[in-house]
Amino acid sequence: MTRSDAACGTANGSGPWMLEIENIHKRFGPLTVLRGIDMRVAKGEVVVIVGPSGGGKSTFLRTLNHLEKPDEGRVKVDGQLIGCEERNGRLVALPDSRVAVQRRQFGMVFQQFNLFAHMTALENITAAPIKVLKVPREEAVAEARRLLALVGLPDKEKAYPEQLSGGQQQRIAIARALALKPKVMLFDEPTSALDPEMVSDVLKVMLDLSEGGMTMVVVTHEIGFARMAADRAVLIDGGVIVEEGPPDAFFANPQHERTRKFLSKVLDHRAT
Amino acid sequence: MWDWGAFFHYLHNTYLLTGAGVTLALSLASLAIGLCCGTLAALMRMSRNPLLSKPAAFYIWLMRGTPVLVQLIIIYTGLPQLGIRLNVIESSLIGLGLNEGAYLAEIIRAGILAVPRGQFEAARSVGMTHAMTMRIIVLPQAMRIIIPPLGNTFNSLLKTTSLASVISMEELLRRTEVLIQVQFKVLEIFIVAALYYLVMTTIWGFIQERLEAHFSRSHAAPKDEAGAEAALQPNARIEKVLLSHDAQ
Ligand SMILES: Nc1ncnc2c1ncn2[C@@H]1O[C@H](COP(=O)(O)OP(=O)(O)OP(=O)(O)O)[C@@H](O)[C@H]1O
Ligand SMILES: [Mg+2]
């Protein structure tokens, strides 16, 4: 049995959860970044993750859609195992091409937007539907225009990323992720690279999404957004979940010393 | 004495013109072979698997570390000793193509490395496989970095093909020399040959300019936001990488 097979563990039945994450471990060489993370997210639930730099938040998000292959543990979306498949009662790791197909169930939004630099806003949104899903061009373009309107940028379809502000780029990036009709949206500090005046445009789009019933896992230090949109707040540090709870209690009255320390730092930073 | 009559006569000599045609065809074919070998070698060289990266590194090292002239002579005159007999055209194409491939491999690799990591990740995140990511997202962006040095190596290649005259490939230089042996108008005929090379490299210069403009169209467009200025900085850095690569 190879190591990647071992990472699949054993198959179990699925519950009512959109996302079931069990015992995720991730190492980079000698450095252990994730030390066993479990999480279940219901359909339509919004989970906000906070935590100090280097704590493993980004790595955790990236193991969910298998941009990073977890060394141990497993991820299920809507009951389907990601990265592995049961064959003759045994779990085997899937090849790159199959994992790529499964990955479409997640939309991902990055801190640095990562729009395709050689494509216009419209092409950024239609590229994957046309090339990956083989959607007819006219259909993909119509859907992309609908998404551009949704994120408030109907007049930017011909603009290249370099011609757009950070906030505009991030909203196009959200539209690009939505174009694949994902079941879960992952956000990795979507507003951290933005000028303050653009943050609210992006948060508004995310708020609309959550109200529309999208299941979301959001790494962010926007406490205001967390309180308004999140069903649950989670602190990840040292590769484990230190504390989790309903946002109001979590931010107003944290139970753990590490959470308290972290929150006071973030709030201090915001105040100055 | 300089003979204007002879000069104008040889300016439209079919024998020489055909030689120029062969030079052009040989250059284009070598470029095509070089692009295939070069892309493959670049991708292998960047692989984490040493069974792929080591042979690619060896190929690049070998080709760039020895003169093309020596490579051509070994292929044409030396290999028959091992029972491998290649005709003049095969030897020229293999020699020039493999050599070009090694230089292009390094250019293509530099181009791919200049594409920010985030572009790979974004492509993977929307469900593209590794091969699609390379083809649809990375290589088109790498082209912007690759085209200027690629154009320069093609310019060199147009001239380097003249080395194939040594193994009696009937290209422009070889035909020039043959003609001189019967006509004795050394300077006139050589100047005509030089002009042919000049015309080919100059036309290529124009084509290269158009290609460069085409592949940087997403960057040449006017800005409509002051905020976009900041986004320019990474590209300035890429340009620097490119310049320093070019200088090597
Ligand atoms: N590809 C990689 N190779 C080696 N180490 C890595 C890699 N990716 C992340 N790490 C390391 O893993 C640790 C956790 O990184 P991660 O990016 O997940 O933290 P984070 O919680 O997102 O931090 P931040 O708030 O700064 O974004 C860090 O020490 C980082 O250096
Ligand atoms: Mg991070």
- Report residue A13's pLDDT band, with 50, 70 and 90 as the boundaries: very low
Locate the ligand 1 atom nearest the alpha carbon of residue A56 and give its number. Answer: 18
Do residues B41 and B60 touch, judged by C-beta distance below 8 A?
Answer: yes
Average pLDDT, stretch B41-66?
Answer: 94
Please check the confidence at residue B236 and state whether its pLDDT lies above 50: no
For an interface test with A, which of B49, B112, B126 has the most A Cβ atoms less than 10 Å from its Cβ? Answer: B126
Rounded distance, CA A99 to CA B167, Å?
Answer: 52
Instruction: Identify residues whose C-beta is under 5 A from ligand 2, the ion.
Output: A 58
For residues A155-169, give the mean pLDDT.
94
Tell me the domains of chain B and their CATH numbers: 4-247 (1.10.3720.10)
Q: What is the mean pLDDT of residues A99-115?
A: 94
Q: Measured between CB atoms, which of A67, A104, A118 is closest to B141?
A: A118
Q: List, for residues A133-146, the tens digit of each pLDDT value.
A: 999 999 999 999 99
Q: How far is CA A75 from the centre of its chain?
A: 13
Closest CA to A119 of A111, A109, A107, A128: A128
- What value does the mean pLDDT take over residues A152-169? 94
Chain B residues whose CB is inside 8 A of the A162 CB are 218-219, 221, 223, 228, 231-232, 235
Instruction: For residues B118 and A73, give the distance between their C-alpha atoms in angstroms, rounded to a whole number.
Output: 26
Q: Which residue has the tokens 């943050």?
A: A199
Whether A234 lines ligand 1, by a CB cut-off of 6 Å, is no
Is residue B213 predicted with pLDDT exceeding 50?
A: yes
Q: Does B28 touch chain A (CB under 8 A)?
A: no
pLDDT category at A246 given cuts 50, 70, 90 is very high
Check: CB of residue A105 under 8 Å from CB of residue A182: yes
Interior/surface letters A69-102, b for 16+ CB within 10 angstroms, e for the rest: ebbbbbbbbeeebbbbbeeeeebebbeeeebbeb
Please, what sign has the CA dihedral across residues B231, B236, B242, B244? negative
Q: What is the pLDDT of residue B183?
A: 80
Q: Which residue matches tokens 């999208």?
A: A214
For chain B, percent of residues with pLDDT exceeding 70: 88
What's the pLDDT score for residue A230? 95
Q: Do A159 and B224 touch (CB under 8 A)?
A: yes
| Chain A residue with minimum CA distance to B234 | A162
pLDDT at A15 (0 to 100)? 56
Pairing of strands A215-219, A46-50: parallel
Closest CA to A240 of A86, A2, A66, A56: A56
Please give the Cα distance from A244 to A235 (Å, whole number).
6
Q: What is the pTM of this model?
A: 0.82
For residue A7, what are the CA distances in angstroms to A60, A64, A75, A99, B214? 15, 13, 10, 14, 46
Q: Does A14 have pLDDT greater than 90?
A: no
The contacts of residue B93 (CB under 8 Å, 6+ apart) are B26, B29, B30, B33
What percent of chain A has pLDDT above 70? 93
Report pLDDT digits (tens) over B76-95. Answer: 999 999 998 999 999 999 99
Q: What is the pLDDT of residue A106?
A: 96
Asked whether the beta carbons of residue B126 and residue A65 sit closer than 8 angstroms, the reply is no
Decide if pLDDT at B200 tops 70. Answer: yes
Q: Does B87 touch chain A (CB under 8 A)?
A: no
Nearest C-alpha of chain A: how many angstroms from B5? 54
Whole-angstrom distance, CA of residue A264 vs CA of residue A248: 15
Selected for mutation to probe chain B from A163, A171, A199, A202 (highest B CB count within 10 Å) is: A163
pLDDT(B228) > 70: no
- Ligand 1 centroid – CA A55 distance (Å): 7
Phi and psi based region of residue B123 (left: phi greater than 0; alpha: psi -120 to 50; beta: remaining): alpha
B233, B7, B127: which is closest to A112 by C-alpha? B233
- Looking at residue B6, its pLDDT comes to 87
Probe target for ligand 1 pocket from A34, A49, A59, A189, with the most ligand atoms within 8 Å of CB: A59
Which pairs count as long-range contacts for B42-47, CB under 8 Å and 24+ apart, including other chains?
A: B42/B104, B42/B105, B42/B106, B42/B108, B42/B109, B42/B112, B43/B134, B45/B105, B45/B109, B46/B109, B46/B112, B46/B113
State whether residue A110 sits within 8 Å of chain B by CB.
yes
According to the model, what pLDDT value does residue A71 have?
92
